[in-house]
Structure 1
Amino acid sequence: MADLLWDDVSCFFDPDLMGTLPDVRVPNTSVEDWQAVLDLVVEKGWKYRYSEGETVLPLPRAESVLSRSADAECPNLRVWPTADVLAIFRFDAADEVDFDVDLRELQGQERLDVFCGFLREIGRRLGKPVLMDPEGDCGHPVLGFDIEADRVVLLADPPVR
């Protein structure tokens, strides 16, 4: 059974309403949590590409990425849980795993199921909630992986149109 039904949540995947790149995050994390995410990507066999600036590099240990100097090239990890869905992880701080998704890629029940499965895998691995906020509106999640329910749930009421 699907975590969420497209007809119930499609408004939260409207780029005009939510912004094209909503903020997806796992708060209260550590370097070890980041490493667990990197390990999960490899274990699941998801296609990925790690880069610093324009240079593509082998996937490093989380500790080395998070301890880089402030003037180092900006690292990111692109992960494709399926060929048509991309998540871009940013290594801004150890205390929050954060990544972007493009809502234009997450249209319809099939893509929603892929997205929910991705959040579920990360949340289960870390034992923590995975939250999605509107772009630039961090702290107001609309949906996320709920540990107790062991699935992705709505965390806000759909807006009235």
Structure 2
Amino acid sequence: MPDLLWDDVKEHFDPYGTGSLPDLRIPYTSADGWQTLLDLVVERGWSHEYREGATELPLPRAVDVLARPPDAECPQLRVRPAENMLAIFHFLAEEEIDFDMDLRELQGQERLDLFCDFLRTVGRRLGKSVFMDPEGACGHPFLAFDTEADRVVFLGER
């Protein structure tokens, strides 16, 4: 049984209504949480690339990335947990894992199931909820991996 049914949530996955790059976040984390995420990417064998500006570099330790100078360019970790599905992680702050996913890649039940599997995998490994807000509306989630329910849930209109 899928976590979510496409027909129930498809209007919230409209790239034109929600924004093509909704904000996903895992609050109340730390450098250890970031490292857990980096380790998970490697363990799962997900295709990935780490960039600082236009330069691709080997995947660093989280503590090193998070210790960069305040005026340094924000690094990105681009992860492909499935074919034609990209998660872009931004190292903005130690206490919150922030990433984007392109809704144009998440259309239909099969793609929604892959997306939910990715959120469950990340949320379970970190032991934290993962929230999804419309693009630019941080703090107003409409969907989340809920650690207590151990599944992705629709939170409704916010």
Partner of 1:44: 44
Aligned length: 158
Alignment match, 1:12: 12
Identity of matched residues, %: 66
Structure 2 residue ranges without an equivalent (≥5):
none
Any idea what SS the aligned residue of 1:68 has? coil
| Matched AA of 1:36 | T
Q: Aligned letter for 1:100?
A: D
- 2:147 is matched with which residue? 147
Instruction: State the one-letter code of the partner of 1:31.
Output: A
After TM superposition, the structure 1 = structure 2 runs for residues 63-102 of structure 1, keeping only pairs within 5 Å, are 63-102=63-102
Q: Deviations over 1:26-71 (max 9, x none)?
A: 0111110000000000011100000100000000000000110122
Residue in 2 aligned with 1:131?
Answer: 131
Structure 1 segments of 4 or more deviating over 4 A? none
Aligned partner letter, 2:35? Q
For structure 1, the residue ranges without an aligned partner over 5 or more in a row are none
What code does the residue aligned with 1:27 have? Answer: P
- SS of 1:99's partner is strand
Deviation at 1:73, TM superposition (A): 2.7
Cα deviation code 1:106-131 (max 9, x no counterpart): 10111111110111011101111000
In 2, distance between residues paired with 1:82 and 1:44? 11
* Number of the residue aligned with 1:23: 23
TM-score by length of 2: 0.97
Q: TM-score with structure 1 length normalisation?
A: 0.96
The alignment's C-alpha RMSD in Å is 1.0
